[in-house]
Chain A
Amino acid sequence: MNAAKPIKIIVSMIGLDGHTTGGEVVARILRDAGMEVIYLGVNQTPEMIARAAVQEDVDAIGISSHAANYSQITELMDLLARAGLRDVLVVCGGTIPRRRVEELKEKGVAEVFLPRSTSESIVRYILANVRAPRTPPR
């Protein structure tokens, strides 16, 4: 793995969630921070996201969520574990109630960014926690 390569991250909605605003804003933030963003968009099943993670050899996955029962994020975590991708950093963002945040973290989601999280806090977290070795982006 080339250490100079930028961090590669998937940004996606999951299931039938069609609320794209948050995901698009975050995708732009990450791109501006020098990351290579693979924006999957809407109507992505956990299987599709896991497959993309394998094919694209990503370092991280960001799931944008606007109201859900969160079963599909749990499924995604199981699929990633089964595919041997436990070192891929998974973060979520959106209108996620606090008690659900705890549940998601128990399932292996590294961090949940709540509405109005700053660009800086998202970028800083990913840089600090993504699998090594990667150089800081430009």
Chain B
Amino acid sequence: MKRETDYGYAIKTVYTPQDIPGFDYQRDLGDPGSYPYTRGYHPQGYRSRMWTRRMTAGLGSSRAANQVLKEYREMGQRGGMCVISDRVFSSPIDPDHPLGRKEAGVLGWPGSSLLEFEELMDGIPLTGQSITLLGSSAPSAIRLAYLVVLARKRGANLDEIHGSVIESPFENYFGQTDVQPFDLNLKLFLDAAEYILRNKMHIRAAIISQHFQESGGNNAQALALEMAMLKELCGLLVHERGLDFDEVAALPYELVSIGTRFFEEIAKMRALRRMWARLAKETFGAKRDKSCQLLIAVHTSGRTMTYQQPLNNVVRCAIETLAGAIGGCTALDNATLDNAHAEPSSLAARMSLNTQHIVAEETGVTDVVDPLAGSYFVEHLTNKVEEEAYRIWGRIEEWGGMIAAIRKGSIQELLREEVQNRHREVESGERLIVGVNSLAIPAEDEFEIPLQDVQADESEAIARRMEEWKKTRDLALIRDRLTRLYEDARKRDGCNLMPPIIEAVEAYATAGEIMGVVRQARGLSYDPFHMIECPFPLG
């Protein structure tokens, strides 16, 4: 068995003061609530603010997802809700698109119109909990518009709404893709980010390493990429959009993927807080303490959830949740025992939320802040992963930064190599996975877990509903609003598209229509798949 961190650092038998030479408590850690925030942002830790316990929802119709959100509430989901989009809305196209109708509602919420968002949020307040909408980068501006318009319609105060609905364009290259070109995703991301900041909304942007790590990247790489993405996107908002860094710093959040390498995962989170604090202060000249505090949410890793012997995943989930809690997080959502088979069943969701409740209420982990600080091993690992991450980040800078490195394919190659390494390690038995390459059992002895999925006729029903509903809209109004969007989009990067997108959403133009019109204005085909034409005459 390999005794190395996942980024290949050989672990010794025992760690002593010699392994943290020159350790300086104030400089390297600081008290909880003090720079460089290695120990966290709150002097009272979870005693003053408990982490948000949530589960990702989204499968089948919007009404079905709404029911699931209400069930999660019953299961003790507290502080926030989290919904993931289906691939159709992630693209984004509409469910009645020839490709959309084949998989609407598979793997997520089919949110391609404001109507779907209204159904998703039926009976659920927009305030009093964080609203997180995940999916992909491309529909970021549309998700933000849903929030703005629904708040308007309900008379809710935008100031009181918090959560995260926009996502950086980088995640698109980490093994889970949408179909839009990078430049377009970047443009829309920056527009949405600028809109949030100029309107002083309390909405965050996912600038996250989670996809990268779930696709096979290691801890040090994930940390390096996270820092490189943060630096570049914050830099663009400061230098190109003319925003103050102390405003921009309130935008990003990181979703850390936590696997079963318990101590390494905790070290990674501690290193991340320190690295961001230094970037904020030393590179961007942050003036406010708050700007040096990167919001960190945890996702316990779906990649570690095995297909074989799925009940073992309950145990993995518990270990990862404990690591996330000790590491110090603002919110946590779990992969579930059925993760390698399907979207969470009710049983699996309850098990995952209960795992969080058990860790929170029964272990005592919430009593003390950063309980592993001062451990020779954990401090050494924190320094080590940071050192390795700085080294990789340095390479990314040599490639010209994240955008240049993505364009060159360097990041994709980094990931590809690491995935192959991981595959080899498991195949050779250097890394053991219980129930997979160790203590495997015959398929017929497997315990059968309940599974839920979406059948082809359900996707078709979502498609047909949209097809019929589209005809009932005020088509003249939609045409006006889309024409304005088209004209603004033709001004290319000089014009923020959030206002016309909000107007179009309000008139019930769909995600496919909005994105299609923006594409067309930029000289692309209306339909990324070249199967349908724009139904409205423009310009």
Contact = CB atoms under 8 A, between A and B. Distances in A.
Interface in A10-29: 15-21, 24-25, 28
A21 B175 contact: yes
Given A71-B102, A97-B342, A116-B433, A43 B307 contact: no
A138 to B, nearest CB: 20
Contact of B341 (A70, A95, A119): A95
Contacts of A16: 87-88, 90-91, 99-100, 103, 179
A2 interface: no
B297 to A, nearest CB: 22
A68 interface: yes
What's the dominant secondary structure at chain A's contact region?
loop
B106 A68 contact: yes
A104 to B, nearest CB: 13
B178 A95 contact: no
A18 B106 contact: no
A116 B436 contact: yes
A126 B106 CA distance: 30
A97 B437 CA distance: 20
Bin chain B's interface residue count.
35 or more
Nearest to B106: A69
B459 interface: yes
Interface residues of A, number: 29
A68 B103 contact: yes
A98 interface: yes
B351 interface: no
B48 interface: no
Contacts of B34: none
A30 B340 CA distance: 23
Contact of B340 (A45, A71, A95): A95
Contacts, number: 91
B419 A116 contact: no
A13 to B, nearest CB: 9
Interface in A97-138: 97-100, 114-116, 118-119
A92 to B, nearest CB: 14
Given A16-B91, A25-B420, A116-B426, A45 B106 contact: no
B366 to A, nearest CB: 34
Interface string A63-85: 00001111110000000000000
B306 A119 contact: no
A42 interface: yes
A41 B451 CA distance: 28
A97 B176 CA distance: 20
Nearest to A75: B102
30 contacts: A15-B87, A15-B103, A16-B87, A16-B99, A16-B100, A16-B179, A18-B90, A18-B176, A18-B177, A19-B175, A19-B176, A20-B176, A21-B419, A25-B419, A43-B179, A45-B529, A67-B342, A68-B103, A68-B106, A69-B456, A71-B103, A71-B459, A72-B102, A97-B451, A98-B443, A98-B446, A115-B307, A115-B308, A116-B426, A116-B437
